[in-house]
Amino acid sequence: MTAAEPSLQTHEVAPVGIGWRHPHHAELLQRQPALDFIEVHSENFFAPGGAARAVLRQGREHYDVSLHGVGLSLGSAAGIDAAHLDQLAALVAEIEPVRVSDHACFARGSLSSQPEHAVHAVDLLPTPFTHEALDAMCANVQRVQDRLRRPIAVENLSAYVRWQVNELGEPEFLNLLARRTGCHLLVDVNNIFVNALNDRLQGSLQDPLGTCRGWLDAIEPGAVAELHLAGHVDCGDIVIDDHGSRVVPPVWSLYRHALERFGAVPTLIEWDTDVPDLQVLLDEAATARGYAGQTLGTAVA
């Protein structure tokens, strides 16, 4: 297995971007607000022709683009879908993104009723933190990196079920993944907090913020390529990472902790449900810039 060449950029000021979703396609192109990058979900632009790809080309003329996937299924024991990887490779070749990322999850496999046919859950399903699962994810990540000829970043999940068979902690699993493949890590701060809140609901931990700080401290700093921030919803009996509201104060607090540990890492504001006015996302981005400036002692643009 060959590790990809490391190419993790260092920054003096944390670059801040926003998720660029359909309701804001036209407005962002018209206003062209000051952003360090925009992020899109890769699969939404897989089609080789049509309006969506054309809009992304226009966005790329004005901004660096981070391609964030939700469907590679990097943890799948059934492997990567070759057609999916072909489409991603074509998109990467055309858009020349500043980063390419996906999740430490699986979605692809077979049903016991039809073992010869692959299905895809189109969701971010947790994979066990076992050595067998690590081997599978390393092989898949390596295959993607070999095809794209660049490292990708792999994101930690909000997980709503936990496997009994875990042999490794999540940070250890991700650190080993990065070491073995040369991939980068994308740390979603909100996901860590959502998991901690759900663990508290299950009665398995008392101090979510302390647990999250410990999680961040266990991640090797040199591998982190991007931070994600988003809102979540508390349903009473479960907390869902719905990307449908502002970042909450405890997550901003964890963001500052992450900056202290990882440095000026590119930071994304995600908002995917009930997408508000573009200005709300820009305000959240400005808040992130402000915290980064305070935490790292750099001037805020």
Closest CA to 85 of 99, 69, 104, 64: 69
Of the pair 128, 151, the CB lying nearest another protein is at 128
CA angle 91, 94, 95 (to 5 degrees): 80
Question: With CB under 8 A as the contact rule, which of the stretches 16-24, 209-217, 234-242, 282-290 interacts with another protein?
Answer: 234-242
| 30, 247 contact by CB (below 8 A) | no
Of the pair 160, 218, the CB lying nearest another protein is at 160
18-53 burial code (b ≥16 CB/10 A, e <16): bbbbeebbeebeeeebebbbbbbbbbebbeeeeeeb
Among the listed residues 132, 207, 260, 274, the single contact to another protein using CB under 8 A: 132
Return the bridge partners of 66, or none. 39, 99
Of the pair 66, 76, the CB lying nearest another protein is at 76
Secondary structure (DSSP) of 43-84: GGG-SSSSHHHHHHHHHHHHS-EEEE-S-S-TT-TT---HHH
118 counts as binding another protein under rule CB under 8 A: yes
Burial (0-12, 13-18, 19+ Cβ within 10 Å), 204:
exposed
72 counts as binding another protein under rule CB under 8 A: yes
Q: In the range 147-206, which residues lie near another protein by CB under 8 A?
A: 159-165, 198, 202
Of the pair 66, 87, the CB lying nearest another protein is at 87
For another protein, how many residues bind (rule: CB under 8 A)?
A: 58
116 counts as binding another protein under rule CB under 8 A: no
Among the listed residues 237, 249, 297, 299, the single contact to another protein using CB under 8 A: 237
Q: In the range 77-106, which residues lie near another protein by CB under 8 A?
A: 77-78, 81, 83-84, 87, 106
Which residues of this chain interact with another protein, rule CB under 8 A? 43-44, 46-54, 69-73, 76-78, 81, 83-84, 87, 106-113, 115, 117-123, 125, 127-128, 130, 132-133, 136, 159-165, 198, 202, 237-238, 240
